[in-house]
């Protein structure tokens, strides 16, 4: 018996043709390039709601604002300063995916890096500037609170800023009071300049400094002033601030910028006056403040309102000059009151704390 075999099956060729292989390789390369491009930094910065801090509460177990040698009064509720969390910075930038996600998140603002930082600014320079602004805001807040309360002050001379790579970078902190320079008692900023500038370049300068209630001595060597050839300098900016007749210290140091001034001043006023200003209500706000109590505009107010509401605030104090940015962006459940002075702010908080919810000066909730 013979066996008949049918035709042998055709052999299958699982290999790709050159054209198909080229297409696959091109697609893979495209995916890889797209992934790499998505991770490359772009020159934008993301601004998002940051944490809030209660100026009449505690921070790390210590009162955020401490007053000694003066009667203080119990406080309730919150007078929170608000912050913005910044991602990107002057050098890093954002990856493209983060930027795209931010553009679609109403709580986040994506802005060109050049809007926030000067050309060639470094992370360290920006951090130092923010630290100096924060120290200045505390001094101005104390002066504004004392002016509002009618408490006499004396002027003290401080290091308002310290050059990052200057002679004093490791010896002096922004906000340090300059008590004496080479034995000369310092009364005005000019006393510092007149004592240091005539010295030969490279001279040793002995400084007596005060931080809060702690006094210390530092010695630095002068360098040639970059803007005044032949003159000595030690790399500090000098400012005069109002000093109250009792010590006031601020525990918070992890925040930068000038926008906490108003809330620091309100917290101090609340501690120094009988009766809780807030009536137990959760209040938050932002704004610079000057020595006379005038409140100035700030940046990132949209993110600060969101952060305040997320933390539980029902009343938000906004600088009157920020009203255009506030309108149309007020989170649900948050009442926003515009203020121009510390007196305005105290009045608004007190009235709101007593249950008054109408008749307060406000920014329009919506446009049109």
Given this model, what pLDDT does residue 38 score? 45
Q: Are strands 94-95 and 282-285 parallel, antiparallel or unpaired?
A: unpaired
Q: Is the pLDDT of residue 252 over 80?
A: yes
Q: Of the segments 90-99, 176-185, 186-195, which one has the largest average pLDDT value? A: 176-185
List the beta strands (DSSP E) in 55-200: 58-59, 62-63, 65-67, 78-87, 94-95, 109-112, 154-162, 177-181, 184-185
| pLDDT one-digit tens code per residue, 325-359 | 998 899 999 999 999 999 999 999 999 999 998 88
Higher-pLDDT residue of 288 and 367 is: 288
Given this model, what pLDDT does residue 37 score? 47
Q: pLDDT confidence of 129, banded at 50, 70, 90?
A: confident
| pLDDT one-digit tens code per residue, 7-28 | 444 444 455 566 566 565 555 5
Given this model, what pLDDT does residue 25 score? 56
- Interval 193-204 mean pLDDT: 96
**Domain 154-243, CATH class in plain words:** mainly beta
Q: What one-character DSSP code corresponds to residue 213?
A: T
Q: pLDDT confidence of 243, banded at 50, 70, 90?
A: confident
Work out the burial of residue 243: count CB atoms within 10 Å of its CB; fewer than 13 is exposed, 13-18 middle, 19 or more buried.
buried
Q: pLDDT confidence of 244, banded at 50, 70, 90?
A: very high
CB of 307 closer than 8 Å to CB of 52: yes
List the beta strands (DSSP E) in 68-173: 78-87, 94-95, 109-112, 154-162
pLDDT averaged over every residue in the chain:
86
Q: Is the pLDDT of residue 366 over 80?
A: no
Q: Is the pLDDT of residue 258 over 90?
A: no
Q: Is the pLDDT of residue 29 over 60?
A: no
| pLDDT one-digit tens code per residue, 140-149 | 899 999 999 9
Q: pLDDT confidence of 39, banded at 50, 70, 90?
A: very low
- Scanning 247-326, the segments in alpha helix (DSSP H) are 261-272, 301-311, 323-326
Q: Find the range with the poorest average confidence among 5-9, 66-70, 232-236.
A: 5-9
* Half-sphere exposure for 48 (CA within 13 Å, toward CB): 14
Q: Is the pLDDT of residue 57 over 50?
A: yes
Q: Is the pLDDT of residue 247 over 50?
A: yes
Prediction pTM value: 0.74
- Interval 254-259 mean pLDDT: 84
CB of 107 closer than 8 Å to CB of 303: yes
Work out the burial of residue 1: count CB atoms within 10 Å of its CB; fewer than 13 is exposed, 13-18 middle, 19 or more buried.
exposed
* Half-sphere exposure for 31 (CA within 13 Å, toward CB): 6
| Domain coordinates in residue numbering, the chain | 45-86+127-150+247-368, 154-243
Rounded CA-CA distance 121/37 in Å is 25
Rounded CA-CA distance 43/70 in Å is 50
- 190 contacts: CB under 8 Å, gap ≥ 6: none
Q: Is the pLDDT of residue 79 over 80?
A: yes
Given this model, what pLDDT does residue 264 score? 97
- Interval 68-77 mean pLDDT: 96
Q: Find the range with the poorest average confidence among 72-81, 127-136, 161-170, 286-295.
A: 127-136
Given this model, what pLDDT does residue 12 score? 46
CB of 366 closer than 8 Å to CB of 327: yes
Q: pLDDT confidence of 254, banded at 50, 70, 90?
A: confident
Given this model, what pLDDT does residue 31 score? 52
Q: Is the pLDDT of residue 40 over 60?
A: no
Q: Is the pLDDT of residue 66 over 60?
A: yes
Higher-pLDDT residue of 37 and 289 is: 289
List the one residue out of 271, 339, 275, 274 whose CA is nearest residue 301.
339
* Half-sphere exposure for 330 (CA within 13 Å, toward CB): 26
Q: Which fold has domain 45-86+127-150+247-368?
A: Ribosomal Protein S5; domain 2 (3.30.230)
């Amino acid at each position: 018996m013979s066996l008949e075999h049918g035709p042998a099956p055709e052999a299958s060729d699982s290999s790709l043709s050159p054209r198909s292989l080229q297409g696959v390789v091109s697609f893979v390369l495209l995916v890889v390039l797209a992934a790499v491009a998505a991770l490359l930094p772009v020159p934008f910065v993301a601004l998002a709601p940051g944490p809030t801090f209660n100026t009449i509460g505690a921070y790390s177990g210590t009162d955020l604002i401490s007053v000694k040698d003066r009667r203080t009064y119990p406080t309730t509720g919150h007078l929170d300063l608000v912050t913005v969390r910044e991602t990107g910075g002057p050098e890093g930038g954002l990856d493209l995916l983060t930027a795209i996600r931010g553009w679609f998140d109403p709580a986040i603002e994506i802005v060109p890096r050049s809007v926030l930082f000067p050309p060639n600014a470094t992370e360290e320079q920006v951090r130092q500037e923010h630290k100096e602004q924060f120290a200045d805001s505390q001094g101005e807040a104390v002066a504004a609170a004392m002016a509002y309360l009618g408490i006499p002050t004396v002027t003290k001379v401080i290091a308002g800023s310290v050059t990052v790579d200057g002679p004093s970078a490791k010896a002096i902190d922004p906000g340090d009071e300059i008590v004496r320079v080479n034995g000369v008692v310092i009364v005005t900023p000019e006393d510092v300049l007149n004592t240091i500038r005539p010295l030969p370049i490279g001279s040793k300068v002995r400084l007596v400094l005060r931080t809060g209630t702690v006094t210390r001595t530092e010695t630095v060597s002068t360098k040639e002033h970059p803007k005044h050839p032949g003159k000595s300098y030690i790399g500090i900016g000098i400012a005069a601030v109002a000093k109250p007749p009792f010590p006031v210290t601020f525990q918070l140091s992890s925040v930068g910028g000038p926008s906490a001034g108003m809330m620091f001043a309100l917290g101090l006023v609340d501690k120094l006056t009988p009766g809780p200003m807030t009536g137990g209500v959760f209040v938050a706000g932002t704004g610079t403040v000057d020595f006379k109590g005038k409140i100035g505009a700030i940046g990132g107010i949209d993110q600060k309102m969101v952060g305040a509401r997320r933390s539980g605030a029902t009343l938000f104090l906004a600088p009157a000059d920020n009203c255009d940015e506030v309108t149309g962006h007020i989170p649900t459940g948050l009442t926003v009151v515009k203020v121009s002075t510390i007196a305005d702010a105290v009045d608004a908080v007190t009235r709101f704390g007593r249950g008054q919810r109408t008749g307060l000066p406000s920014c329009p909730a919506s446009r049109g």
